[in-house]
């Protein structure tokens, strides 16, 4: 099979790889881009609508974000809204009501404080009492038509974009990239990159479809990115902890997204209820958080890849020990294991769901088989800490980037692509039309460095 040479080769055809393909094709003068995807379709794994919560994370209902993080995520989320607005129509961006729900005196006091603190950044959010909540989401506020007993308030809105089918968005990015003028855009599906080798002035990527040659390589291969980095001697101070997320279905009882208040001690986002863009007759609840010893959910194998990317040693064990010695986290981990055990799981999960919809009974819950994905959480072995957000490896004096993108990596795909495009432009000496990105995708304000 003959060699093919490209300016930039992107490994991984999820939302991250597709967003970068689009941004490079439209806003830089790069000559040629190849995107190589292991499976036979675009966004087959975590970016598929069945795998994630389909939320456009704007920072308004995510009580696990600081104000600073919420502002940044809002700006990145808005890039998707601006992108959608540039198209005649789209099949990926949707408006549903959304709210943070507080239950009980303590949570209500915390939410009121947060609402005030975040008001300047999110002026469209309103503080709702039980009556108003009942108008927007009757199943949350009422049991058999009567108010639920606990005090509830919510911070919410009804006319903002809140849901994204990221699989459809990935396809839209690739269509838009192909429409960009005089660029060579090559997409290879069923094309697993088995090895990346470094040469003096280029990289060679071995795949079943032959060797691809690149001046710059970006690896956005989800949980697999670290393994490819390790092959080249990078990211040896990191491990991947794959956190699977499962969901449960009930018949449609919510009109929009209902997020709950975060327990600050817990590393993963609190339970929420959402409409399901691919199953609109149902309400989806979740995700759970379960450590799985594999790098992909619902595909065969990748157990060995997990062990190779975990690189179990004293430092990794220390991170596990620190997590397990906290009783709140320990209980949470055991509870999430139990959420996977048939029969027991409905009963246990119903208790958590009743915080959102008090009338739900265990028998209403259906384990959503085949739904859910895997968050590649990074363990930083130097600081011996579990990192909660996204992580990248950008080796100095190399033309390489490796991205690991747990939540909110789908929301921030264009923000991440913009960041990567600046590095690529600098190192390849090509032009990035930053002003056009700022005007067209960022509403006139650049992302602060
Ligand atoms: C339960 C759950 C809920 C979530 N909810 C949200 C949410 O509501 N909002 C949000 O913004 N984010 C959410 N996320 C996170 C979001 O799904 C991810 O951040 C996002 O999908 C990551 O996209 P990606 O393209 O980086 O990775 P992926 O979608 O995992 O894509 C990586 C691609 O690389 C390919 N690949 C791997 N190895 C190779 C190789 N060697 N050669 C070629 N290709 C390869 C894979 O096949 C895959 O297609 C959620 C995640 C989970 C698990």
Question: Do the beta carbons of residue 447 and residue 415 sit within 8 Å?
Answer: yes
Q: What residue owns the CA closest to ligand 1's atom 9?
A: 55
> 324 alpha carbon to ligand 1 midpoint, in Å?
27
34 lines ligand 1 (CB under 6 A): no
Q: Model pTM?
A: 0.96
**How many whole angstroms separate alpha carbon 15 and alpha carbon 411?**
9
Average pLDDT, the chain: 95
Count the Cβ atoms, other than its own, within 10 Å of residue 447.
16
**How many whole angstroms separate alpha carbon 270 and alpha carbon 68?**
20
User: Probe ligand 1: pick from 11, 13, 14, 219, max atoms within 8 Å of CB?
Assistant: 14
Task: Provide the b/e sequence for 147-173 (b: ≥16 CB within 10 Å).
Answer: ebeeebbbbbbbebbbbbbbbbbbbbb
36 lines ligand 1 (CB under 6 A): yes
Q: Which two tokens stand for residue 432?
A: 């990035």
| Residue-level pLDDT at 2 | 59
- State mean pLDDT over 418-440: 98
pLDDT category at 137 given cuts 50, 70, 90 is very high
> 185 alpha carbon to ligand 1 midpoint, in Å?
22
Cα dihedral: 13, 14, 20, 23 (round 10):
100
Find, among 39, 378, 431, 54, the residue nearest to 223 by Cα: 378
> 141 alpha carbon to ligand 1 midpoint, in Å?
34
Q: What residue owns the CA closest to ligand 1's atom 2?
A: 52
Question: Do the beta carbons of residue 273 and residue 258 sit within 8 Å?
Answer: yes
52 lines ligand 1 (CB under 6 A): yes
Question: Do the beta carbons of residue 216 and residue 58 sit within 8 Å?
Answer: no
Count the Cβ atoms, other than its own, within 10 Å of residue 124.
12
287 lines ligand 1 (CB under 6 A): yes
pLDDT beyond 70 at 99: yes
For 238-252, what is each residue's pLDDT tens digit?
999 999 999 999 999
**How many whole angstroms separate alpha carbon 413 and alpha carbon 14?**
10
pLDDT category at 3 given cuts 50, 70, 90 is low
pLDDT beyond 60 at 1: no
| Residue-level pLDDT at 160 | 98
Percent of the chain with pLDDT over 70: 99
For 272-324, what is each residue's pLDDT tens digit?
999 999 999 999 999 998 889 999 999 988 999 999 999 999 999 999 998 88
407 lines ligand 1 (CB under 6 A): yes
φ/ψ of 94, rounded to 5, equals -135, 150
> 36 alpha carbon to ligand 1 midpoint, in Å?
15
Q: What residue owns the CA closest to ligand 1's atom 37?
A: 221
Residue 293 half-sphere exposure toward CB, CA atoms < 13 A: 6
For 334-375, what is each residue's pLDDT tens digit?
888 888 888 888 889 999 999 999 999 999 999 999 999 999
């Amino acid at each position: 099979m003959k060699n093919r040479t490209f300016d930039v080769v992107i490994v991984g055809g999820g939302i991250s790889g597709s967003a970068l393909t689009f941004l490079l094709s439209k806003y830089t003068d790069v000559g040629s881009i190849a995107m190589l995807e292991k499976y036979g379709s675009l966004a087959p794994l975590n970016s598929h609508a069945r795998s994630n919560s389909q939320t456009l994370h704007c920072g308004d209902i995510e009580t696990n974000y600081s104000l600073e993080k919420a502002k940044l995520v809002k700006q990145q989320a808005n890039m998707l809204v601006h992108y959608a607005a540039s198209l005649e129509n789209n099949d990926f961006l949707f408006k549903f009501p959304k709210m943070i729900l507080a239950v009980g005196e303590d949570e209500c006091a915390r939410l009121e404080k947060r609402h005030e603190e975040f008001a300047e950044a999110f002026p469209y959010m309103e503080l709702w009492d039980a009556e108003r909540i009942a108008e927007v989401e009757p199943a949350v506020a009422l049991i058999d038509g009567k108010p639920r007993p606990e005090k509830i308030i919510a911070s919410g809105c009804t006319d903002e974009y809140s849901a994204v089918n990221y699989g459809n968005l990935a396809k839209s990015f690739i269509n838009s990239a192909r429409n960009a003028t005089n660029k060579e855009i090559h997409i290879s599906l069923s094309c697993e990159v088995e090895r990346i080798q470094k040469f003096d002035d280029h990289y060679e990527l071995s795949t079943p479809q032959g060797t691809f040659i690149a001046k710059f390589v970006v690896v956005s291969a989800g949980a697999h990115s670290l393994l490819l980095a390790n092959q080249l001697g990078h990211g040896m101070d990191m491990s991947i902890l794959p956190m699977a997320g499962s969901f449960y279905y009930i018949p449609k009882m919510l009109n929009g997204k209902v997020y709950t208040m975060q327990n600050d001690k817990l590393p993963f986002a609190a339970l929420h209820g959402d409409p399901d863009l691919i199953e609109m007759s149902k309400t989806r609840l979740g995700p759970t958080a379960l450590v799985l010893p594999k790098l992909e959910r619902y595909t065969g194998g990748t157990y060995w890849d997990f062990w190779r990317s975990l690189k179990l040693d004293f430092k990794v064990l220390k991170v596990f020990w620190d997590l397990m010695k906290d009783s709140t986290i320990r209980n949470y981990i055991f509870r999430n294991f139990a959420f996977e055990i048939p029969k027991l799981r409905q009963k246990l999960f119903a208790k958590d769901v009743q915080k959102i919809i008090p009338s739900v009974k265990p028998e209403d819950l259906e384990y959503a088989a085949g739904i859910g994905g895997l968050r590649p959480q990074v363990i930083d072995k130097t600081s011996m800490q579990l990192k909660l957000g996204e992580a990248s490896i950008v080796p100095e004096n190399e033309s390489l980037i490796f991205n690991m993108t747990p939540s909110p990596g789908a929301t921030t795909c264009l923000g991440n692509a913009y960041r990567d495009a600046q590095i690529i432009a600098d190192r390849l000496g090509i032009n990035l039309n930053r002003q056009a990105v700022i005007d067209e995708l960022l509403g006139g304000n650049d992302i602060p460095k």
